[in-house]
């Protein structure tokens, strides 16, 4: 038990630390007994200085000869452990931990979940401290209870970490060590991956390289890619990254693509054929290089898996990228037909894109003779006219009721170019008044006989041949010995009003 006089002195020492009164501390800290004072919460003097960010007090305490830098608080934490666990301004945290290590603080402490001080320093991006820990003998390959070594924590930072990576490698860190889920090569930034690979291929001969990293090296035209491609290496594949793989394959140079297909084509096939991607990408394809690479892939062993991937990812995304790149109608038609020749699935959305851009064009007619994948949600009619054309079972009455409920009067107005029905007028709100007056004059309420004939023929034709699909309808219609003028009316290519 402390005497009452020492208790008073203890209180004065703590107050001097909290109020940054270094001169008073010099008078009060007159014996080693005073160095081991704790406050009511169990913090020692160094920890109080760190807690309150009192850098002058902290520096003075460390300047005292034989000051107990490893004196623990009531939780068993030393000042160094406490500093590495504190969230305070970067420069202060770095100063506290760095100076404690310089003073000779113990660096071998293992904290909760098996983390070492080096784990904490790297996870907090305190690379100056981490470098000093390494130089003082910290174990660079110590694994915590999750299997993470200090090098695994590098990928949590966006800072420039090449210097600390180099230091870790120089002191023997194993970049190929796996934890229970992944290796460091799977998760860190590309710049760090490249540094690690340079080290690995200098010293190791049997390494599993992530396939996406190899593709990134090819995309960046790294000299390391050409070095690796000549080595007898193994690659590992994570099929969840399908979109990433495909987009990199679509953007690397043609010569690199040939090399990758030649050596790792079976791995690429396995990725693209996996049938599912949980990565949703909104990035556009760079069309000129994409077209060249797509041609290379489709004329190689990758052809079935590439088409399978495009069908799964949704070809409409690629078509929209093509349209946004401002290619002319002829080029887009040739491109789409080229993909069709390899077995591309036609998406419902493709017809909407093409019709909205070019109207009832030759490509639109070609797609009407294909199996159409009805991919839009039920009731989602982007544009009424192409839907009317390819959905041979479209119920105009039901559609009229649905768009009336949604207030899409312009969709109704578009139907008035093909149908004359009195009820159409009441579904068109004021916004159709902005449309061309002459166009509105063509919208009759009494149908022409040609409309009645068209409607009756379509229903008879579908019932007679038990037609179920758009493809069957337009294919059979082509063989009928009737004028093209009549065929255009039957297929809604000709507007009646």
Per-residue pLDDT tens over the stretch 353-391: 999 999 999 999 999 999 999 888 776 667 889 999 999
Query: In residues, how long is the chain?
Result: 497
Q: Are 76 and 112 in contact (CB under 8 A)?
A: no
Going by their DSSP bridges, the two strands 208-210 and 234-236 should be labelled as parallel
Largest CA distance in the chain: 118
Structure tokens at 419: 């149908």
Residue 351 confidence (pLDDT) above 50: yes
Helix (H) or strand (E) holding 234, with range, is strand 234-236
Mean pLDDT of 193-200: 74
Q: Are 264 and 235 in contact (CB under 8 A)?
A: yes
Cα separation, 24 vs 171, in Å, equals: 44
Cα separation, 395 vs 401, in Å, equals: 10
- Mention every residue, 6+ apart, whose C-beta is less than 8 A from residue 332: 319, 322, 323, 363
Cα separation, 404 vs 415, in Å, equals: 13
pLDDT of 74 reads 86
pLDDT of 252 reads 92
DSSP string of 5-51, one letter each residue: HHHHHHHHHHHHHHTT-HHHHHHH--SHHHHT-B-TTS-BHHHHHHH
Residue 272 confidence (pLDDT) above 60: yes
Compute and round to an integer the Cα radius of gyration of the chain: 36
- Mention every residue, 6+ apart, whose C-beta is less than 8 A from residue 351: 364, 367, 368, 372, 386, 389, 390
pLDDT tens for 308-340 read 888 877 678 788 888 888 888 999 999 999 999
Q: Are 130 and 118 in contact (CB under 8 A)?
A: yes
Q: Are 291 and 335 in contact (CB under 8 A)?
A: yes
pLDDT of 86 reads 72
Mean pLDDT of 268-277: 75
pLDDT of 125 reads 82
Confidence of residue 430 (pLDDT cuts 50, 70, 90): very low
pTM for this prediction: 0.64
pLDDT tens for 140-194 read 999 998 888 888 887 555 556 778 888 888 898 887 665 445 566 666 667 777 7
Closest C-alpha among 97, 104, 49 to residue 73: 49
Number of Cβ atoms within 10 Å of the Cβ of 177: 15
Structure tokens at 131: 């470098």
- Mention every residue, 6+ apart, whose C-beta is less than 8 A from residue 106: 70, 78, 80
pLDDT of 424 reads 64
CA atoms within 13 A on the CB side of 240: 2
pLDDT of 222 reads 84
Least confident stretch, 20-29, 62-71, 90-99, 332-341: 90-99
């Amino acid at each position: 038990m402390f005497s009452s006089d020492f208790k008073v002195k203890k209180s004065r020492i703590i107050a001097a630390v909290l109020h940054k009164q270094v001169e008073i501390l010099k008078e009060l800290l007159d014996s080693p007994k005073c160095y081991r004072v704790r406050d009511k919460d169990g913090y020692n003097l160094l920890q109080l200085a760190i807690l309150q960010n009192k850098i002058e007090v902290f520096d003075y305490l460390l300047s005292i000869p034989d000051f107990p830098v490893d004196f623990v608080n009531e939780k068993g934490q030393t000042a160094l452990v406490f500093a590495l666990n504190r969230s305070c301004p970067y420069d202060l945290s770095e100063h506290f931990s760095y100076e404690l290590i310089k003073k000779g603080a113990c660096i071998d402490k293992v904290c909760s979940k098996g983390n070492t001080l080096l784990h904490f320093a790297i996870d907090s991006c305190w690379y100056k401290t981490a470098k000093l820990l390494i130089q003082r003998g910290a174990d660079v390959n110590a694994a915590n209870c999750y299997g993470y070594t200090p090098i695994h924590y590098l990928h949590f930072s966006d800072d420039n970490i090449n210097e600390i990576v180099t230091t870790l490698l120089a002191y023997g860190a194993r970049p190929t060590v796996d934890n229970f889920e992944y290796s460091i090569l799977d998760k860190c930034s590309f710049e760090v991956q490249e540094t690690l690979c340079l080290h690995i291929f200098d010293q190791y001969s049997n390494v599993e390289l992530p396939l996406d990293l190899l593709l990134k090296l090819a995309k960046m035209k790294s000299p390391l890619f050409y070095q690796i491609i000549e080595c007898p290496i193994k690659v590992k594949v994570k099929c969840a990254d399908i979109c990433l793989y495909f987009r990199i394959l679509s953007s690397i140079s043609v010569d690199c693509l040939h090399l990758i297909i030649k050596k790792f084509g079976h791995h690429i096939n396995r990725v693209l054929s996996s049938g599912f991607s949980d990565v949703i990408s909104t990035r556009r394809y760079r069309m000129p290089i994409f077209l060249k690479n797509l041609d290379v892939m489709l004329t190689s062993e990758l052809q079935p898996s590439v088409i399978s991937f495009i069908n799964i990812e949704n070809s409409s995304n690629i078509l929209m990228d093509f349209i946004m790149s401002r290619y002319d109608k002829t080029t887009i038609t040739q491109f789409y037909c080229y993909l069709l020749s390899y077995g591309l699935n036609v998406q419902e959305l493709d017809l909407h894109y093409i019709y909205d851009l070019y109207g009832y064009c030759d490509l639109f007619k070609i797609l009407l003779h294909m199996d159409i994948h009805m991919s839009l949600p039920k009731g989602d009619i982007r544009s009424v006219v192409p839907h009317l054309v390819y959905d041979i079972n479209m119920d105009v009455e039901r559609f009229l009721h649905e768009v009336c409920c949604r207030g899409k009067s312009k969709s109704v107005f578009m139907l008035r170019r093909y149908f004359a029905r009195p009820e159409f007028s009441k579904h068109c709100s004021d916004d159709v008044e902005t449309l061309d007056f002459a166009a509105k004059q063509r919208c009759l309420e009494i149908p022409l006989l040609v409309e009645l004939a068209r409607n009756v023929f379509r229903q008879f034709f579908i019932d007679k041949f038990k037609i179920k699909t758009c493809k069957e309808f337009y294919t059979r219609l082509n063989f009928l010995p009737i004028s093209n003028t009549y065929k255009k009316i039957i297929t809604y290519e000709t507007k009646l009003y």
